[in-house]
Amino acid sequence: MTILRQKKKISNKTVRGIFCAVMYALLAIFMLGLFLFSANYSKIYGSPQVQDSAVNFEGIDIPSRDVACNLAGEWEFFYNEWIITDGYDGEPDGMIKLPAVWTYKNFGNGALPRTGFASYRLRADNVQAGINVIVYRHYSNFAFRVFINGELNYRSGELSKTVSETVVTGRTTEQHPYLTDGSPLEIVIEVSAMTVGGFHTAPWLAATSTGNSYGGNLRSFNYIALGIAASAVAVSILSFIFFRFKRDITVPAFMFALFAHFLCSRDMLYVIRWSIPTAMILQMLTAIVSFVLLVLHFWRSGAKLKKIPVLVSLLSAAVFTALTFAFYGTPLAPVFAFALFVVGCAFLVPIVFNEKLAPVQRYAYGVLFAFLMSVFCFELCDGLGLLVFGTEFIFTFELMLIIACFAVLWLWKLAKNARNAIRVSELECELSSVKNQALKAQIEPHFIYNSLTAIQARYRDGLHEGDKAIEQFAKHLRLITDSKGEDVIAFDDEVRNVLNYFELENLRADGKLNLLLDLDYTDFCVPALSLQPLVENAVKHGNLRGIQDGYISLSSERTESAIVITVADNGQGFDLDKVHTGVGLENARKRFELFGAQMKIKSAPNQGTQVTIEIPLE
């Protein structure tokens, strides 16, 4: 016996759950990888290890390195002392492993506050002789200066032992390369008075002749991303301006917020000359604005996020942001920053599980949101001093991926609109066809009734005349049957329909009706049974039998812009203002309008009637 096993189809909810789990896992892996990379940065790039306030450069060719040597590790720490400027020769308070803060650390005299100034000292051994070296750190959130063997080597900002007199620039103010002679180097960093708890980042040592192409390449990538972001903003704003039927301010606004977020990154401080605290605040604000605009964009795209959870989350994010800055420079700041990150990541689930979004939107927005959160987290960790290296290059690639997600969404929307336009066009054609068939069906019983009346009259005149009328009627019915289901037929076929009808009517009129044909152009199509009502109207209302030499004419010609069909008679005519057009004429008018043509009626009492149809050549 054969047992058939039915494959279980994975539900959409399961797929969405897997997607969310993968996104969260990738975010966790990225974060973990970022911290592992930071912890092993010196090993990865072959920098000497800083231990017990000493570093050994034996075998390190400093000028040939593309990446400067990072001096993260244990330094001697002197709280509220400048050991070079003030000539302090006492013992250090203890050891601090940079990057770190001194806040809450206890060196025997109680926990230290966030405020104060300090010195850090390190001994560098076996530095090769004959090179100019510099110890530096860009984008610091306080003023500091570096001494090598007692000589000023580097300075950033204006130092003071009071916060109010300290000037923080975050960029190089002064530098004096130190020429090495092979002897040990005593490196001392003096930091100004501050309220952020110490040196949040580790300094770097490099030869001034080193091109540092690594850093240069990172800046090149940043400038490329800057150009892409600017282009994306320009395109989205122009689209908002010109494509009025698709206006959505949140798209260009969101791109503009990302653009501003990039401008606020610390890699651009040399250009815009903002201090680190100002840049961090603006980074946070623009990230939050981007998030709010993205949520608004979800709403505009059809997603129905619940207002209360959104408001609670935004309020929580604002609180955690305030707490992060309030406790900046303390071990609690990363805790609040992590809570802020968790609150933001929680939005991934309602986005992916939103039934109002199409699958492409759902997953593209999910990826976009994950990228945005990772950018925010990387920048925040860098600003809090949790990393030994800058994350500008990470933001660059993230920004490119974000723009790629928007490009996918934009192309998808364009494709969707194109499909909708095609479908609307098809529906319009179907609707026109249905209307045309309905109008055609309205003509047929009307014609059959009139024809049977004519045949009945002919049988009164004799059997032969009645049989002849029946033959004409059968021929006409065959033509009608052949055109069944067709919206349009060849003009020649419609003329044959008219001739058969006219013969039937002429039987009733004892042959007194005249039909004149002047057909200069016949290579075109017209709606089936559309000309018959015009001839019928002339026969019924023109009173041609009572007029000497009465006639009906049917002509066709082609002009430069249209095909012109004319049905005219020299009957009694009528006043267009006083007489309403009958069912036949109104039916013909509607069918020609569906066909894209225009029908005009010209008539006056005792001057006949002329019906003109103009069919555009297009």
Domain ranges of the chain: 12-41+213-420, 47-207, 462-616
Confidence at 68, pLDDT banded by 50, 70, 90 = confident
Position 213 scores a pLDDT of 42
Which residues make Cβ contacts (< 8 Å) with residue 175, sequence separation at least 6? 134, 136, 153, 154, 155
**Parallel/antiparallel/unpaired status of strands 54-56 and 116-125:** parallel
Looking at the DSSP assignment, which residues form a beta bridge with residue 51? 54
CA-wise closest residue to 278 among 180, 350, 170: 170
One-letter amino acid at 515 equals L
DSSP 8-state secondary structure symbol assigned to residue 192:
E
7-11, 410-414, 482-486, range with greatest mean pLDDT: 410-414
CA-wise closest residue to 64 among 207, 256, 233: 207
Level-2 CATH architecture, domain 462-616: 2-Layer Sandwich (3.30)
- Residue-wise pLDDT tens digits, 416-468: 778 878 877 776 666 566 555 554 555 556 667 767 777 777 777 777 777 77
Which tokens belong to 266? 């610390």
- Residue-wise pLDDT tens digits, 514-557: 889 999 999 898 887 788 888 888 887 777 776 777 889 999 99
**Parallel/antiparallel/unpaired status of strands 562-569 and 552-558:** antiparallel
Environment class of residue 353 by beta-carbon count within 10 Å: exposed (0-12), middle (13-18) or buried (19+)? middle
Buried/exposed code over 386-407 (b: 16+ C-beta within 10 A; e: otherwise): bbbbbbbbbbbebbbbbbebbe
Angle between helical axes of 359-383 and 12-39 (0-180°, round to 10) = 20
The whole-model pTM stands at 0.60
Per-residue DSSP letters for 3-62?
---PPPPPPHHHHHHHHHHHHHHHHHHHHHHHHHHHHTHHHHTTPPPBBTTEEE-TT--G
Environment class of residue 534 by beta-carbon count within 10 Å: exposed (0-12), middle (13-18) or buried (19+)? buried
Confidence at 311, pLDDT banded by 50, 70, 90 = confident
- Write 274-278 long-range contacts (CB < 8 A, 24+): 274/170, 275/141, 275/168, 275/169, 275/170, 276/139, 276/140, 276/141, 276/168, 276/170, 276/383, 277/141, 277/168, 277/196
Neighbours of 511 (CB within 10 A): 9
Confidence at 214, pLDDT banded by 50, 70, 90 = very low
Position 4 scores a pLDDT of 43
Q: Would you say 443 and 584 are in contact if contact means Cβ atoms under 8 Å apart?
A: yes
d(C-alpha 500, C-alpha 536), whole Å: 12
One-letter amino acid at 589 equals R
Environment class of residue 420 by beta-carbon count within 10 Å: exposed (0-12), middle (13-18) or buried (19+)? exposed
| Nearest-10 Cα torsion for 576, 577, 582, 586 | 80
The answer to whether 47-207 and 462-616 have equal CATH topology is no
Alpha helix (H) residue ranges in 130-180: none
Neighbours of 523 (CB within 10 A): 10
What value does the mean pLDDT of the chain take? 79
Confidence at 127, pLDDT banded by 50, 70, 90 = very high
Alpha helix (H) residue ranges in 189-331: 213-242, 250-263, 269-272, 276-300, 307-326
Position 132 scores a pLDDT of 93
d(C-alpha 479, C-alpha 35), whole Å: 85
Rounded to 5°, angle at Cα 33 from 30 and 36:
155
Of the CATH numbers 2.40.30.10, 2.60.120.260, 3.40.50.2000, 3.40.50.300, which one belongs to the domain with range 47-207? 2.60.120.260
Confidence at 3, pLDDT banded by 50, 70, 90 = very low
d(C-alpha 347, C-alpha 490), whole Å: 63
d(C-alpha 555, C-alpha 515), whole Å: 11
Which tokens belong to 71? 């001096």
Which tokens belong to 87? 């000539």
- Residue-wise pLDDT tens digits, 322-371: 888 778 778 888 888 888 888 878 878 877 887 777 788 788 888 877 87
